[in-house]
Amino acid sequence: MTDQPSPALAAAMQEVSTAVEAALDRLLPRPEGATARLAEAMRYACLGGGKRLRALLVVASADIFNVPRERSIRVAAAIEMLHAYSLVHDDLPCMDDDDLRRGKPTVHKAFDEATAVLVGDALQAEAFAVLAHSETHPDSSIRAELVLALAVYSGASGMVGGQAIDLAAEKRGAAGTPLNFKEIVELQNLKTGMLICFSAEAGAVLAGADILEKMALDEYAIDLGLAFQIADDLLVHESSAAEVGKAVGKDAAAGKATFVGLLGLEQARTKARALTNSAKSRVSAQFGPSSVVLQELAEFVITRRS
Amino acid sequence: MTDQPSPALAAAMQEVSTAVEAALDRLLPRPEGATARLAEAMRYACLGGGKRLRALLVVASADIFNVPRERSIRVAAAIEMLHAYSLVHDDLPCMDDDDLRRGKPTVHKAFDEATAVLVGDALQAEAFAVLAHSETHPDSSIRAELVLALAVYSGASGMVGGQAIDLAAEKRGAAGTPLNFKEIVELQNLKTGMLICFSAEAGAVLAGADILEKMALDEYAIDLGLAFQIADDLLVHESSAAEVGKAVGKDAAAGKATFVGLLGLEQARTKARALTNSAKSRVSAQFGPSSVVLQELAEFVITRRS
């Protein structure tokens, strides 16, 4: 096991990060005129940070089909806007009430709460505007398919639905009846899994790929998303154990069900490894060596140290 | 002048309200499973209320071109979802902090603040899902055009931008430098005018109408939207003068610039009348008698009493 991305993966991550950052800078509104502060806050929320995991999934899956990069990068930027909106709203005082995100003050701290609500709202709209624009793909049926998929995956039956379940779960946890394994898997699939699925599928949609190819990417992403969450829980568990000498992290202390809490350390590690292997074999069987970045990404997701 | 809609307009309003209500009921998620509470709150925010002005604009403009009603009603429902999301977020404690909306507790009062944030987020996504779905129009280029227009008109350079200017304007007002006439017109054009424009244009987009026809509806809607806001200010002014015997409403008391405050009572009335006449003549010149509902709506907007 290694805790560094392979050279090929590291190069792809760097390349996509740089290209998506440039695209976001170009696509986000300029901070000028009467709405300068809103634009500035949107840029603060989107630029200069994050692993760009979703962007890399879009581009790596699109690369399998030789989709022109200028198209996949636009879709990647749209998904990163959507993801950024969800983080800004999740951090609000009435939600998770977080003051820091990636070491920087959250948007409602750096600006104010009303601006944070509006930033999220505007970023969501902007994501759909980017997808619907003819520069994303000349074929309008592909643009409409992208919009519909993102809307469904990010809405009440997807990401936002998962967030609602998470809120209810915290109350249940505080009342002493945290989620069971099946429920936490459903929560994570909605809250983070569906946007990860959309990211991996988007390359196939851009290419007008067939249903089997889309399914392979979809199944890859479901396993990857869950492996990612379990790995996150393991990292939190290990860092809190190391840092403060106790065996439970913040989430567990708050009565929140975690994979580590439910499965135990060893089983959680085994489960993450099994999901990673399954994700890798799914795309290697369908696409062969052209899916090497996706395969290495799945490996990295459970071996990274942050 | 009359304060009742004409029989033709009243019939159209009733018909569209009923059809849009049924469409919203069909399109919004059912309150079941783990996300039942979110779905229930989305329905609470969207169903059973409001003038459905935007829905009527969509349907009346689409009727000019004989667009099938099942298409225009879907677009109308999407816009009403978008409008409902904007109201739910505007009412939040960190924004306008309103406890009541149309006589009912606002969503964050009836449910809670976190749910209100998520309701708005999910309604926005749902609006785009409806527009992008093939049932809205068989031609994907029309669906993509609708999505792009709604995203641009409702985002940072449209509705959300207007809301951001409004927040800044309140601070300026409190500091003794309220907006001037030109600035308040810009604010209102963004905050409410652009969604009204989209509503009126949507019928022409659904019909694949030509640029002159779209422009006529656009210009009609710009005048109508401004007339609507001035009429709103006049209503607030008159009701607060009548109810509490003072000549200024809540907005003016909060240092917020209003059309009545800036223009005076008589000039505000004259301006609203001129805008209404201009809106009516714009569509009657372009479309003749087939635009009668739009014409009567423009008249009603400034003569209504609530």
Check A163 against B118: CB less than 8 A apart: yes
* Angstroms from A5 CA to nearest CA on chain B: 35
DSSP string, B187-216: HHIIIIIHHHHHHHHHHHHHTT--HHHHHH
pLDDT band at B1 (very low <50, low <70, confident <90, very high): very low
The whole-angstrom distance between residue B106's C-alpha and the CA centroid of its chain comes to: 18
User: What Cα–Cα distance (Å) separates residue B168 from each residue in A117, B99, B122?
Assistant: 14, 22, 26
Tell me the three state secondary structure of residue B105: strand
* Angstroms from B240 CA to nearest CA on chain A: 28
Instruction: Report pLDDT digits (tens) over A186-242.
Output: 999 999 999 999 999 999 999 999 999 999 999 999 999 999 999 999 998 887 666
Q: Which residues of B touch A112 (CB under 8 A)?
A: 94
CA gyration radius, chain A: 19
Residues B24 and A30: their CA atoms lie apart, in Å, by: 36
CB contact, 8 Å: A136 with chain B? Answer: no
User: Does the pLDDT value for residue B244 go beyond 50?
Assistant: no
Q: Which amino acid is at A17?
A: S
H or E element at residue B100:
strand B100-101
pLDDT number for residue A247? 41
Q: What percent of chain B has pLDDT over 90?
A: 79
Residues in CB range of A193: below 8 A, 6 or more apart: A162, A221, A222, A225, A226, A229
Residues A180 and A261: their CA atoms lie apart, in Å, by: 10
CB contact, 8 Å: B165 with chain A? Answer: yes
Residues B279 and A186: their CA atoms lie apart, in Å, by: 52
SS (H, E, C) chain A: CCCCCCHHHHHHHHHHHHHHHHHHHHHCCCCCHHHHHHHHHHHHHHCCCCCCHHHHHHHHHHHHCCCCHHHHHHHHHHHHHHHHHHHHHHCCCCCCCCCEECCEECHHHHCCHHHHHHHHHHHHHHHHHHHHCCCCCCCHHHHHHHHHHHHHHHCCCCHHHHHHHHHHHHHHHHCCCCCCHHHHHHHHHHHHHHHHHHHHHHHHHHCCCCHHHHHHHHHHHHHHHHHHHHHHHHHHHHHHHHHHCCCCCHHHHCCCCCHHHHHCHHHHHHHHHHHHHHHHHHHHHHHHHHHHHHHHHHHHHHHCCC
pTM for the full predicted model: 0.95
- Its ipTM equals 0.95
CB contact, 8 Å: A148 with chain B? Answer: yes
Q: Which residues of B touch A168 (CB under 8 A)?
A: 34, 37
How confident is the model over B193-199, as a mean pLDDT?
Answer: 97
B142, two tokens: 């029309």
pLDDT number for residue A244? 46
A100-108: which pairs have CB atoms within 8 A and are 24 or more residues apart? A101/A49, A102/A49, A102/A50, A104/A49, A107/A41, A107/A44, A107/A45
Check B154 against A125: CB less than 8 A apart: yes
User: Does the pLDDT value for residue B69 go beyond 80?
Assistant: yes
Average pLDDT, chain B: 92
DSSP bridge partners of B104: B101
pLDDT number for residue B246? 41
Q: Which residues of A touch B148 (CB under 8 A)?
A: 129, 132-133
Chain position carrying tokens 């439970």: A248
Residues in CB range of A119: below 8 A, 6 or more apart: A38, A41, A42, A45, A85, A88, A107, A111
pLDDT number for residue B245? 43
Q: Which amino acid is at A118?
A: L
CB contact, 8 Å: A36 with chain B? Answer: no
- Other C-beta atoms lying within 10 Å of the C-beta of residue B138: 9
Which segments of chain A have a pLDDT < 50?
Answer: 1, 244-249
Residues in CB range of B122: below 8 A, 6 or more apart: A155, A156, A160, A161, B38, B42
Q: Which amino acid is at B202?
A: A
CB contact, 8 Å: B29 with chain A? Answer: yes
Per-residue DSSP letter, B30 = P
Instruction: Report pLDDT digits (tens) over B113-144.
Output: 999 999 999 999 999 999 999 999 999 999 99
Residues A189 and A176: their CA atoms lie apart, in Å, by: 23
Identify whether the C-beta of residue A205 lies closer than 8 Å to the C-beta of residue A145.
Answer: yes
How confident is the model over B29-58, as a mean pLDDT?
Answer: 94
CB contact, 8 Å: A124 with chain B? Answer: yes
- Other C-beta atoms lying within 10 Å of the C-beta of residue B88: 28
For chain B, report the end-to-end CA distance as a whole number of angstroms. 15
Residues A215 and A282: their CA atoms lie apart, in Å, by: 10
**Domains present along chain A, CATH in parentheses:** 7-303 (1.10.600.10)
Residues A138 and A183: their CA atoms lie apart, in Å, by: 41
Question: Which residue in the set A35, A113, A164 is minimally distant from B37, CB to CB?
Answer: A164
Q: Are strands B104-105 and A104-105 parallel, antiparallel or unpaired?
A: unpaired
pLDDT number for residue B161? 97
Residue from A187, A211, A194, A207 nearest A262 by CA? A187
CB contact, 8 Å: A101 with chain B? Answer: no
Check A34 against B186: CB less than 8 A apart: yes
User: Does the pLDDT value for residue B241 go beyond 80?
Assistant: no
B156, two tokens: 């940072």
* Angstroms from B109 CA to nearest CA on chain A: 13
H or E element at residue B101:
strand B100-101
* Angstroms from A247 CA to nearest CA on chain B: 30
Q: Provide the greatest CA pair distance for chain A.
A: 56
Half-sphere exposure of residue B235: CA atoms within 13 angstroms, side-chain side: 13
pLDDT number for residue B252? 54
Identify whether the C-beta of residue B30 lies closer than 8 Å to the C-beta of residue A161.
Answer: no
Residues A282 and A268: their CA atoms lie apart, in Å, by: 21
- The least confident of B78-82, B170-174, B293-297 is B170-174
CB contact, 8 Å: B36 with chain A? Answer: no
Check A34 against B125: CB less than 8 A apart: no
H or E element at residue B82:
helix B69-90
Check B151 against A128: CB less than 8 A apart: yes
Closest residue of chain B to A88, computed from CA coordinates: B117
pLDDT number for residue A252? 55
User: What Cα–Cα distance (Å) separates residue A188 from each residue in A152, A179, A251, B32, B206?
Assistant: 16, 12, 14, 19, 38
A41, two tokens: 């806050």
Check A117 against B95: CB less than 8 A apart: yes
pLDDT number for residue B49? 74
The whole-angstrom distance between residue B17's C-alpha and the CA centroid of its chain comes to: 14
Q: Which residues of A touch B131 (CB under 8 A)?
A: 147
Burial of A264: CB neighbours in 10 Å, binned 0-12, 13-18, 19+: exposed
The CA angle A96-A97-A98, to the nearest 5 degrees, is 95
The whole-angstrom distance between residue A15's C-alpha and the CA centroid of its chain comes to: 18
